[in-house]
Amino acid sequence: MYFVCVVTVLITVGGNLVVMISISHFKQLHSPNNLLVLSLAIVDFLLGVLVLPFNMIRIVEMCWYMGSFYCKLIICFEILFANTSVFHLCFIAIDRYYAVCEPLHYANKINIRVAWIFITIAWVLGALYSFGLLYTRPNDTSIDESFVRLSCEGACSLLYHKIWEYLDALTFFVPCFVMIGIYAHIFTVARNQARLIKIMEDRTFTLKDSTRRAQRNREQKAAKTLGIVMGVFIFCSLPVYIVTMIGTYLNIIIPDKLYDAFLCLAYINSTFNPLIYAFFYPWFRKALKLIVTSKIYHPNSSGMKLYTN
């Protein structure tokens, strides 16, 4: 179990570190969409460094050995990164909507400044929610309305008050429904665009027409890839939210092993993201090769082309 945990942590930290270095270093990747992807990779990277190793030990040992202060800190980080990921994915969906559905207005609507605003909002909202949840929950003494998981003396446990559980559900399910609606519309528009392109294939395209078509295809492929990222996030995170809601609303004690299994699945989402990028993004594979071979240390390496315009 420890071997699996160590491999998971290494892939999570290493994979997201490659995404961070690639987007930060190569100028061609400096776009509003990639800036959001970079910030999401930072979330996953920090989760892999600050939360995964310690919670993996708790899950394997079935006990918490690091004291109440660090328990609260880990819980705070866990909630912060979970909610920040949801907000990032929401803003990425908005970015893809304008890129695919309104390409003529994309440059005016979404730029680097707007991307930074999105990132700031995602982090601030996530921080406010996580710290508010952590520091108001101990004031609740109504055990009957709480769901507590205890595996041993010194366990790192959470008391889920129903009011906070409502908020927790809203911060997950509402953004997820919004994202599903946005991506459904994006893929409908993309399918219609592909049909029009197929009809016009016999036309003689100018170089400008070909460039626009290549750009549109790239935007659609990016939307598809990020839609998969969103789908994997929902698939991995949904079970732990469901069992938590069942335990809170129905006053059912969820078995520790079942809860920990779903919690591990939620953590593994941060491991999947760089693997998805590696599978669908040629620029990620090329950047990884340049990083491994140390070519990014060469002069002017930041100007290397990772994909053709």
In this structure, the chain runs to a length of: 309
Give the residue numbers spanning the domain of 231.
2-303
As a whole number of angstroms, the distance between CA 177 and CA 172 comes to 9
pTM: 0.83
What pLDDT shows up at residue 209? 54
C-alpha to C-alpha distances, 86 to 58, 79, 98, 241, 242, nearest whole angstrom: 25, 11, 19, 13, 16
As a whole number of angstroms, the distance between CA 175 and CA 19 comes to 24
- What phi and psi, each to the nearest 5 degrees, are found at residue 227? -65, -35
Return the closest-CA partner of residue 81 out of 302, 307, 269, 235.
269
Indicate whether 143 belongs to any domain: yes
Return the closest-CA partner of residue 164 out of 142, 128, 132.
132
Torsion over CA: 282, 284, 290, 293 (sign): negative
**CB of 23 closer than 8 Å to CB of 37:** yes
Q: At 249, is the secondary structure helix, strand, or coil? A: helix
For residue 250, what is the DSSP state? S
CATH code for position 84 = 1.20.1070.10
What pLDDT shows up at residue 166? 73
Indicate whether 57 belongs to any domain: yes
Angle at CA of residue 113, ends 112 and 118, nearest 5° = 95
Instruction: Tell whether the model's pLDDT for residue 175 goes beyond 70.
Output: yes
Indicate whether 308 belongs to any domain: no
Give me the number of domains the chain comprises: 1
C-alpha to C-alpha distances, 199 to 113, 129, 202, 208, nearest whole angstrom: 38, 50, 7, 18
Please name the amino acid found at residue 261: A
Indicate whether 275 belongs to any domain: yes
Indicate whether 239 belongs to any domain: yes
**CB of 251 closer than 8 Å to CB of 143:** no
What pLDDT shows up at residue 255? 78
Indicate whether 285 belongs to any domain: yes
* Residue 44: pLDDT band with limits 50, 70, 90: very high
Q: At 109, is the secondary structure helix, strand, or coil? A: helix
Indicate whether 309 belongs to any domain: no
Averaged pLDDT of the chain: 80
C-alpha to C-alpha distances, 266 to 107, 109, 269, nearest whole angstrom: 35, 33, 6
For residue 142, what is the DSSP state? -
C-alpha to C-alpha distances, 42 to 37, 38, 111, 241, 304, nearest whole angstrom: 9, 6, 20, 23, 23
Q: What is the pLDDT of residues 113-138, one digit of tens each?
A: 999 999 999 999 989 888 777 666 54
Q: What is the pLDDT of residues 262-287, one digit of tens each?
A: 888 888 888 888 888 877 788 888 88
* Region of poorest pLDDT, from 1-10, 197-206, 220-229: 197-206
